[in-house]
Structure 1
Protein backbone atom coordinates (compact mmCIF):
# COMPACT_ATOMS: atom_id res chain seq x y z
CA UNK A 1 0.00 0.00 0.00
CA UNK A 2 1.48 3.35 -1.01
CA UNK A 3 0.71 6.99 -1.63
CA UNK A 4 2.58 9.75 -3.44
CA UNK A 5 3.90 12.92 -1.81
CA UNK A 6 6.10 15.45 -3.66
CA UNK A 7 6.80 12.90 -6.37
CA UNK A 8 7.86 10.21 -3.89
CA UNK A 9 5.92 7.05 -3.15
CA UNK A 10 5.29 6.74 0.57
CA UNK A 11 4.59 3.27 1.89
CA UNK A 12 1.56 3.37 4.17
CA UNK A 13 2.00 1.01 7.11
CA UNK A 14 -1.27 0.79 9.10
CA UNK A 15 -1.24 -1.23 12.32
CA UNK A 16 -4.23 0.23 14.15
CA UNK A 17 -5.80 2.10 11.21
CA UNK A 18 -4.72 3.69 7.93
CA UNK A 19 -6.71 6.76 9.02
CA UNK A 20 -3.79 7.61 11.30
CA UNK A 21 -1.06 7.30 8.65
CA UNK A 22 0.19 10.52 7.03
CA UNK A 23 2.16 10.90 3.80
CA UNK A 24 4.31 13.55 5.49
CA UNK A 25 6.36 13.62 8.67
CA UNK A 26 4.27 14.73 11.64
CA UNK A 27 5.41 16.33 14.88
CA UNK A 28 2.97 15.57 17.70
CA UNK A 29 3.05 17.21 21.13
CA UNK A 30 2.30 15.14 24.23
CA UNK A 31 1.01 17.01 27.29
CA UNK A 32 0.50 15.20 30.57
CA UNK A 33 -2.68 15.95 32.46
CA UNK A 34 -2.24 16.55 36.21
CA UNK A 35 -3.35 13.56 38.27
CA UNK A 36 -6.01 15.73 39.91
CA UNK A 37 -7.59 16.56 36.52
CA UNK A 38 -9.60 13.71 35.01
CA UNK A 39 -7.41 11.18 36.80
CA UNK A 40 -4.25 11.89 34.83
CA UNK A 41 -3.27 10.51 31.44
CA UNK A 42 -2.18 12.72 28.57
CA UNK A 43 -3.41 14.50 25.46
CA UNK A 44 -1.72 14.67 22.05
CA UNK A 45 -1.99 17.60 19.64
CA UNK A 46 -0.63 18.25 16.16
CA UNK A 47 1.58 21.16 15.10
CA UNK A 48 -1.51 23.40 14.89
CA UNK A 49 -2.48 22.46 18.48
CA UNK A 50 -5.49 20.48 17.32
CA UNK A 51 -6.34 17.45 19.53
CA UNK A 52 -5.37 14.16 17.87
CA UNK A 53 -5.28 11.51 20.62
CA UNK A 54 -5.74 11.11 24.36
CA UNK A 55 -4.68 8.36 26.74
CA UNK A 56 -6.60 7.40 29.87
CA UNK A 57 -4.79 5.40 32.54
CA UNK A 58 -5.83 3.73 35.76
CA UNK A 59 -6.75 7.04 37.41
CA UNK A 60 -9.64 7.34 34.94
CA UNK A 61 -10.42 3.69 34.33
CA UNK A 62 -10.07 2.49 37.89
CA UNK A 63 -8.08 -0.54 36.70
CA UNK A 64 -4.34 -0.94 37.15
CA UNK A 65 -2.20 -2.11 34.22
CA UNK A 66 -4.77 -0.86 31.70
CA UNK A 67 -4.76 2.07 29.28
CA UNK A 68 -7.25 3.25 26.66
CA UNK A 69 -6.05 5.29 23.69
CA UNK A 70 -8.76 7.49 22.15
CA UNK A 71 -9.03 9.56 18.97
CA UNK A 72 -9.82 13.27 18.85
CA UNK A 73 -13.56 12.53 19.25
CA UNK A 74 -13.04 10.44 22.37
CA UNK A 75 -13.74 7.15 20.62
CA UNK A 76 -11.52 4.24 21.78
CA UNK A 77 -8.79 3.14 19.37
CA UNK A 78 -6.75 0.79 21.52
CA UNK A 79 -7.31 -1.13 24.72
CA UNK A 80 -3.91 -1.85 26.24
CA UNK A 81 -3.46 -4.34 29.07
CA UNK A 82 -0.54 -5.90 30.86
CA UNK A 83 -0.58 -9.67 31.10
CA UNK A 84 -0.81 -10.84 34.69
CA UNK A 85 -0.93 -13.98 36.75
CA UNK A 86 1.60 -16.55 37.91
CA UNK A 87 2.98 -16.98 34.37
CA UNK A 88 4.26 -13.40 34.37
CA UNK A 89 5.74 -13.75 37.85
CA UNK A 90 7.81 -16.72 36.69
CA UNK A 91 8.73 -15.12 33.37
CA UNK A 92 11.72 -12.87 32.71
CA UNK A 93 9.51 -10.44 30.79
CA UNK A 94 6.28 -8.54 31.29
CA UNK A 95 3.96 -8.38 28.32
CA UNK A 96 1.64 -5.58 27.31
CA UNK A 97 -0.97 -6.30 24.65
CA UNK A 98 -2.77 -3.76 22.45
CA UNK A 99 -6.25 -4.60 21.16
CA UNK A 100 -8.61 -2.94 18.72
CA UNK A 101 -12.38 -3.41 18.89
CA UNK A 102 -14.08 -5.01 15.92
CA UNK A 103 -17.48 -3.91 14.61
CA UNK A 104 -19.26 -6.66 16.55
CA UNK A 105 -17.51 -5.73 19.78
CA UNK A 106 -14.91 -8.49 19.74
CA UNK A 107 -11.31 -7.60 20.57
CA UNK A 108 -8.46 -8.12 18.13
CA UNK A 109 -4.84 -8.33 19.26
CA UNK A 110 -2.65 -6.06 17.11
CA UNK A 111 0.68 -5.80 18.97
CA UNK A 112 2.61 -7.08 21.98
CA UNK A 113 5.26 -5.13 23.89
CA UNK A 114 7.77 -7.06 26.01
CA UNK A 115 9.20 -5.21 28.97
CA UNK A 116 12.25 -6.80 30.64
CA UNK A 117 11.91 -6.85 34.42
CA UNK A 118 15.12 -4.86 34.81
CA UNK A 119 14.23 -2.19 32.22
CA UNK A 120 13.23 0.30 34.89
CA UNK A 121 16.76 0.22 36.30
CA UNK A 122 19.07 -0.23 33.31
CA UNK A 123 19.00 2.21 30.41
CA UNK A 124 20.29 -0.15 27.72
CA UNK A 125 17.83 -3.02 28.14
CA UNK A 126 15.72 -3.06 24.93
CA UNK A 127 11.94 -2.90 24.92
CA UNK A 128 10.72 -5.16 22.11
CA UNK A 129 7.46 -4.89 20.17
CA UNK A 130 5.93 -7.43 17.82
CA UNK A 131 3.02 -6.92 15.42
CA UNK A 132 0.34 -9.59 15.79
CA UNK A 133 -2.12 -8.43 13.12
CA UNK A 134 -2.17 -10.65 10.03
CA UNK A 135 -3.03 -7.61 7.90
CA UNK A 136 0.40 -6.10 8.53
CA UNK A 137 3.18 -6.85 6.06
CA UNK A 138 5.50 -9.72 6.97
CA UNK A 139 8.71 -7.77 6.18
CA UNK A 140 8.78 -5.55 9.26
CA UNK A 141 6.78 -7.08 12.09
CA UNK A 142 9.18 -6.37 14.93
CA UNK A 143 10.20 -3.08 16.53
CA UNK A 144 12.21 -1.95 19.54
CA UNK A 145 12.60 1.14 21.70
CA UNK A 146 16.16 2.50 21.51
CA UNK A 147 17.30 5.03 24.09
CA UNK A 148 15.78 5.87 27.46
CA UNK A 149 12.21 7.14 27.60
CA UNK A 150 12.40 8.86 31.05
CA UNK A 151 15.09 11.15 29.60
CA UNK A 152 12.74 11.92 26.68
CA UNK A 153 15.49 10.83 24.29
CA UNK A 154 14.51 7.62 22.53
CA UNK A 155 13.31 6.20 19.22
CA UNK A 156 11.06 3.42 18.02
CA UNK A 157 13.09 1.51 15.43
CA UNK A 158 12.16 -1.21 12.97
CA UNK A 159 13.93 -4.56 12.48
CA UNK A 160 16.54 -2.86 10.27
CA UNK A 161 17.34 -0.21 12.88
CA UNK A 162 15.52 2.60 11.06
CA UNK A 163 13.74 5.08 13.34
CA UNK A 164 10.00 5.28 12.63
CA UNK A 165 9.35 7.70 15.49
CA UNK A 166 11.49 9.81 17.82
CA UNK A 167 10.77 11.26 21.24
CA UNK A 168 12.45 14.54 22.16
CA UNK A 169 12.04 17.62 24.29
CA UNK A 170 9.63 20.35 23.28
CA UNK A 171 11.65 23.32 22.02
CA UNK A 172 8.68 25.66 22.39
CA UNK A 173 8.80 25.27 26.17
CA UNK A 174 11.44 27.52 27.73
CA UNK A 175 11.60 25.63 31.02
CA UNK A 176 12.63 22.01 30.58
CA UNK A 177 9.72 19.72 31.45
CA UNK A 178 9.24 15.97 31.16
CA UNK A 179 5.45 16.55 31.06
CA UNK A 180 5.50 18.17 27.59
CA UNK A 181 7.50 16.64 24.76
CA UNK A 182 7.48 16.04 21.02
CA UNK A 183 6.99 12.78 19.14
CA UNK A 184 8.13 12.96 15.51
CA UNK A 185 6.50 10.28 13.36
CA UNK A 186 7.93 9.36 9.96
CA UNK A 187 5.75 9.40 6.79
CA UNK A 188 3.47 6.40 6.32
CA UNK A 189 3.76 5.23 9.94
CA UNK A 190 0.64 4.59 12.02
CA UNK A 191 0.55 7.40 14.57
CA UNK A 192 -2.01 5.59 16.77
CA UNK A 193 0.40 2.66 17.12
CA UNK A 194 3.27 5.00 18.02
CA UNK A 195 1.25 6.85 20.67
CA UNK A 196 -0.01 3.51 22.02
CA UNK A 197 3.61 2.48 22.57
CA UNK A 198 4.34 5.87 24.19
CA UNK A 199 1.39 5.33 26.56
CA UNK A 200 2.84 1.99 27.70
CA UNK A 201 6.29 3.50 28.23
CA UNK A 202 4.68 6.31 30.22
CA UNK A 203 3.01 3.75 32.48
CA UNK A 204 6.12 1.55 32.86
CA UNK A 205 8.20 4.49 34.04
CA UNK A 206 5.63 5.87 36.47
CA UNK A 207 4.17 8.60 34.28
CA UNK A 208 0.76 10.26 34.19
CA UNK A 209 -1.14 7.16 33.05
CA UNK A 210 -0.15 5.30 36.23
CA UNK A 211 -1.89 5.78 39.57
Structure 2
Protein backbone atom coordinates (compact mmCIF):
# COMPACT_ATOMS: atom_id res chain seq x y z
CA UNK A 1 0.00 0.00 0.00
CA UNK A 2 1.18 3.56 -0.64
CA UNK A 3 1.33 6.47 1.73
CA UNK A 4 -1.39 9.10 1.61
CA UNK A 5 -0.56 12.11 -0.55
CA UNK A 6 -1.61 14.51 2.22
CA UNK A 7 0.80 13.10 4.80
CA UNK A 8 1.96 15.63 7.39
CA UNK A 9 5.42 17.10 6.74
CA UNK A 10 8.01 16.24 9.39
CA UNK A 11 10.75 18.74 8.50
CA UNK A 12 9.03 21.00 5.94
CA UNK A 13 6.22 20.79 3.42
CA UNK A 14 8.70 21.84 0.73
CA UNK A 15 10.12 18.29 0.86
CA UNK A 16 6.70 16.69 0.27
CA UNK A 17 6.12 16.00 -3.42
CA UNK A 18 2.66 15.42 -4.87
CA UNK A 19 4.07 12.53 -6.93
CA UNK A 20 6.37 9.59 -6.28
CA UNK A 21 10.08 10.51 -6.35
CA UNK A 22 13.05 8.23 -7.12
CA UNK A 23 16.32 9.39 -5.60
CA UNK A 24 19.82 7.97 -6.12
CA UNK A 25 22.21 7.65 -3.18
CA UNK A 26 25.97 7.59 -3.70
CA UNK A 27 28.26 7.24 -0.70
CA UNK A 28 31.25 9.56 -0.48
CA UNK A 29 34.76 8.23 0.17
CA UNK A 30 35.80 8.40 3.82
CA UNK A 31 37.37 11.78 4.45
CA UNK A 32 39.69 10.79 7.29
CA UNK A 33 36.69 8.94 8.77
CA UNK A 34 33.03 9.05 7.84
CA UNK A 35 32.47 10.68 4.47
CA UNK A 36 28.68 10.62 4.33
CA UNK A 37 26.61 10.42 1.14
CA UNK A 38 24.97 12.48 -1.59
CA UNK A 39 21.34 12.16 -2.76
CA UNK A 40 20.31 13.12 -6.30
CA UNK A 41 16.98 13.23 -8.12
CA UNK A 42 17.07 10.45 -10.73
CA UNK A 43 14.96 12.45 -13.19
CA UNK A 44 16.98 15.70 -13.10
CA UNK A 45 20.36 14.51 -11.73
CA UNK A 46 20.18 17.47 -9.35
CA UNK A 47 21.67 17.08 -5.86
CA UNK A 48 18.82 17.20 -3.36
CA UNK A 49 20.51 16.29 -0.06
CA UNK A 50 23.96 15.77 1.40
CA UNK A 51 24.76 13.96 4.63
CA UNK A 52 27.95 14.86 6.47
CA UNK A 53 29.29 11.95 8.50
CA UNK A 54 30.95 12.20 11.87
CA UNK A 55 34.42 12.26 10.31
CA UNK A 56 33.66 15.49 8.45
CA UNK A 57 32.02 17.03 11.52
CA UNK A 58 34.71 15.81 13.90
CA UNK A 59 32.18 14.30 16.32
CA UNK A 60 31.29 10.65 16.72
CA UNK A 61 27.63 9.63 16.68
CA UNK A 62 26.61 12.87 15.01
CA UNK A 63 25.55 13.73 11.45
CA UNK A 64 24.00 16.65 9.59
CA UNK A 65 21.51 16.38 6.73
CA UNK A 66 21.83 19.34 4.36
CA UNK A 67 19.91 20.45 1.29
CA UNK A 68 21.54 20.70 -2.13
CA UNK A 69 22.79 24.22 -1.33
CA UNK A 70 24.52 23.05 1.84
CA UNK A 71 22.03 24.52 4.32
CA UNK A 72 21.50 22.37 7.43
CA UNK A 73 18.08 20.70 7.70
CA UNK A 74 18.56 18.07 10.42
CA UNK A 75 21.06 17.57 13.20
CA UNK A 76 21.16 13.86 14.02
CA UNK A 77 22.89 12.55 17.13
CA UNK A 78 22.86 9.56 19.43
CA UNK A 79 21.80 10.06 23.00
CA UNK A 80 24.51 9.18 25.50
CA UNK A 81 25.14 9.27 29.20
CA UNK A 82 23.76 7.27 32.11
CA UNK A 83 20.28 6.83 30.60
CA UNK A 84 21.72 5.03 27.58
CA UNK A 85 23.92 2.83 29.76
CA UNK A 86 20.79 1.58 31.52
CA UNK A 87 18.81 1.10 28.31
CA UNK A 88 19.24 -1.80 25.89
CA UNK A 89 18.05 0.51 23.09
CA UNK A 90 20.39 3.32 22.06
CA UNK A 91 18.40 6.32 20.92
CA UNK A 92 19.07 8.53 17.92
CA UNK A 93 17.34 11.89 17.73
CA UNK A 94 16.83 14.12 14.70
CA UNK A 95 16.41 17.87 15.23
CA UNK A 96 15.20 20.32 12.58
CA UNK A 97 16.32 23.94 12.50
CA UNK A 98 13.61 26.61 12.36
CA UNK A 99 13.95 30.03 10.73
CA UNK A 100 15.46 31.44 13.95
CA UNK A 101 18.03 28.67 14.17
CA UNK A 102 16.38 26.88 17.12
CA UNK A 103 16.27 23.08 17.18
CA UNK A 104 13.01 21.12 17.14
CA UNK A 105 12.86 17.38 17.80
CA UNK A 106 11.51 15.60 14.71
CA UNK A 107 12.11 11.92 15.38
CA UNK A 108 13.55 9.40 17.81
CA UNK A 109 14.91 6.10 16.49
CA UNK A 110 15.60 3.23 18.86
CA UNK A 111 18.68 1.29 17.82
CA UNK A 112 18.59 -2.35 18.99
CA UNK A 113 21.48 -3.84 20.90
CA UNK A 114 24.31 -4.87 18.56
CA UNK A 115 23.52 -8.56 19.07
CA UNK A 116 19.99 -7.93 17.76
CA UNK A 117 21.04 -6.03 14.65
CA UNK A 118 20.15 -8.79 12.25
CA UNK A 119 17.63 -9.60 9.59
CA UNK A 120 13.92 -9.39 10.41
CA UNK A 121 14.50 -7.44 13.62
CA UNK A 122 12.43 -4.24 13.23
CA UNK A 123 13.87 -0.83 14.04
CA UNK A 124 11.19 1.59 15.19
CA UNK A 125 10.83 5.35 14.99
CA UNK A 126 8.60 7.73 16.92
CA UNK A 127 7.87 11.31 15.87
CA UNK A 128 6.43 14.50 17.24
CA UNK A 129 3.54 13.99 14.80
CA UNK A 130 2.36 10.76 16.41
CA UNK A 131 -0.74 10.27 18.50
CA UNK A 132 -2.25 7.13 16.99
CA UNK A 133 -2.14 5.27 20.27
CA UNK A 134 1.02 3.32 19.41
CA UNK A 135 4.46 3.49 20.99
CA UNK A 136 5.96 4.04 17.53
CA UNK A 137 4.94 5.70 14.28
CA UNK A 138 7.24 4.04 11.72
CA UNK A 139 9.43 0.97 11.48
CA UNK A 140 12.09 -0.46 9.18
CA UNK A 141 11.24 -3.74 7.51
CA UNK A 142 13.91 -5.70 5.67
CA UNK A 143 17.69 -5.41 5.98
CA UNK A 144 19.43 -2.14 5.15
CA UNK A 145 22.93 -3.60 4.54
CA UNK A 146 21.42 -5.59 1.65
CA UNK A 147 19.86 -2.35 0.37
CA UNK A 148 16.52 -4.14 0.54
CA UNK A 149 14.23 -2.54 3.11
CA UNK A 150 11.35 -0.14 3.47
CA UNK A 151 9.97 2.36 5.96
CA UNK A 152 6.36 1.64 6.89
CA UNK A 153 3.92 3.51 9.10
CA UNK A 154 2.09 2.02 12.07
CA UNK A 155 -0.76 0.73 9.91
CA UNK A 156 1.48 -0.89 7.31
CA UNK A 157 1.68 1.75 4.56
CA UNK A 158 5.05 1.88 2.82
CA UNK A 159 6.30 5.47 2.78
CA UNK A 160 9.75 4.82 1.28
CA UNK A 161 11.64 1.86 -0.16
CA UNK A 162 15.39 1.26 -0.42
CA UNK A 163 16.54 -0.92 -3.30
CA UNK A 164 19.58 -1.59 -5.45
CA UNK A 165 19.79 0.02 -8.85
CA UNK A 166 19.32 -2.91 -11.23
CA UNK A 167 22.38 -2.22 -13.34
CA UNK A 168 24.52 -2.06 -10.19
CA UNK A 169 22.92 -5.09 -8.56
CA UNK A 170 24.02 -7.21 -11.52
CA UNK A 171 27.66 -6.57 -10.61
CA UNK A 172 27.22 -8.28 -7.22
CA UNK A 173 30.30 -6.62 -5.72
CA UNK A 174 30.85 -4.95 -2.37
CA UNK A 175 31.27 -1.66 -4.23
CA UNK A 176 27.70 -1.98 -5.46
CA UNK A 177 26.46 -1.05 -1.98
CA UNK A 178 27.87 2.43 -2.59
CA UNK A 179 25.09 3.19 -5.10
CA UNK A 180 21.40 2.50 -4.51
CA UNK A 181 18.07 4.21 -4.91
CA UNK A 182 15.20 5.22 -2.66
CA UNK A 183 11.59 5.52 -3.80
CA UNK A 184 9.65 8.05 -1.71
CA UNK A 185 5.85 7.96 -1.90
CA UNK A 186 3.69 11.04 -2.64
CA UNK A 187 3.18 13.42 0.27
CA UNK A 188 6.04 11.95 2.31
CA UNK A 189 8.73 14.27 3.69
CA UNK A 190 11.92 13.34 1.84
CA UNK A 191 14.15 15.10 4.39
CA UNK A 192 12.66 12.94 7.15
CA UNK A 193 13.23 9.78 5.08
CA UNK A 194 16.91 10.57 4.52
CA UNK A 195 17.38 11.48 8.14
CA UNK A 196 16.29 7.92 8.95
CA UNK A 197 18.52 6.47 6.20
CA UNK A 198 21.49 8.41 7.61
CA UNK A 199 20.98 6.69 10.97
CA UNK A 200 20.65 3.26 9.32
CA UNK A 201 23.87 3.91 7.42
CA UNK A 202 25.66 4.73 10.65
CA UNK A 203 24.44 1.87 12.81
CA UNK A 204 25.31 -0.65 10.09
CA UNK A 205 28.87 0.72 9.85
CA UNK A 206 28.34 2.69 6.64
CA UNK A 207 30.07 5.71 5.13
CA UNK A 208 28.80 8.14 7.77
CA UNK A 209 30.53 6.33 10.62
CA UNK A 210 33.91 7.16 12.11
Using structure 2 for the length normalisation, give the TM-score.
0.89
Which residue does the alignment assign to 1:51? 47
Change (3 A) 1:58 1:120: farther
Give the secondary structure class of the aligned counterpart of 1:14. coil
1:138: how far off?
3.8
Which residue does the alignment assign to 2:19? 24
Which residue does the alignment assign to 1:209? 208
Which residue does the alignment assign to 1:13? 8
Contact 1:120/1:204 (CA < 8 Å) preserved in 2?
Answer: no
Output the aligned Cα RMSD. 1.9
Hey, what's the Cα distance between the residues in 1 that align with 2:52 and 2:184?
Answer: 21
Contact 1:30/1:45 (CA < 8 Å) preserved in 2?
Answer: yes
Partner residue of 1:147 out of 131, 142, 147: 142
Which is helix-richer, 1 or 2? 2
The runs of 4+ residues in structure 1 deviating greater than 2 Å are: 36-39, 102-105, 118-122, 136-141, 172-176
1:180: how far off?
0.5
Give the secondary structure class of the aligned counterpart of 1:175. coil
Hey, what's the Cα distance between the residues in 1 that align with 2:81 and 2:33?
Answer: 29
Q: Does 1:183 align with 2:182?
A: yes
Using structure 1 for the length normalisation, give the TM-score.
0.89
Q: Which runs of 5+ in 2 are unaligned?
A: none
Give the secondary structure class of the aligned counterpart of 1:59. helix
Which is strand-richer, 1 or 2? 1
Larger RCO of the pair (alpha carbons < 8 Å, separation 6+): 2
Give the secondary structure class of the aligned counterpart of 1:130. strand
Range with greater deviation from structure 2 (96-105 or 79-88): 96-105
1:43: how far off?
0.0
Q: Does 1:162 align with 2:157?
A: yes
1:171: how far off?
1.8
Partner residue of 2:37 out of 23, 42, 52: 42
